[in-house]
Amino acid sequence: MRNSLREERFSIETTIVNILIIILISVGVIFSVVTALGLVRLPDVYTRTHAASKSSTLGVMCILGGTFIHFWLREDHFNPQLVIAIAFLFITSPVAGHLIGRASYMSGIPLAEETVRDDMKIAVEKKKGEQK
């Protein structure tokens, strides 16, 4: 009994699965830390939204994927809610980032000092001119 348990614990499949879970969750945590760093260090709203909407999406998706694989292959429990959550985050959080950036641009929040080119300004003025 004890021997078979030990064999099961150190079989090649469980090792691969464990490594996969550890890699996925570590990558997710690292990306979340990068998000937090980006929120603190980047200069204006637009670059901060860029950090928050991209890397945090990937980070949370990696953590959810790791959890899904852990429950599927280690605990033998297929959890479709996690798959739906991954798809849902993948759709919604870039859209949320886009909307935050757009709303802040339209309410006139200034860009960072390092900005060299602003295509949106030209487009908005053109659109305003068309509607007058």
The binding site for another protein (CB under 8 A) comprises 81, 84, 87-88, 91-92, 95, 98-99, 106, 124, 127-128, 131
What is the rounded distance in angstroms from the CA atom of residue 64 to the CA atom of residue 57? 11
> Contacts by 77-86 with C-beta closer than 8 Å and gap 24+?
86/61
What is the rounded distance in angstroms from the CA atom of residue 131 to the CA atom of residue 116? 28
**Which lies closer to another protein via its Cβ, residue 16 or residue 91?**
91
Residue 32 CB, nearest distance to another protein (Å)?
23
**Encoded amino acid at 25, one letter:** I
Residue 128 CB, nearest distance to another protein (Å)?
6
**Which lies closer to another protein via its Cβ, residue 22 or residue 123?**
123
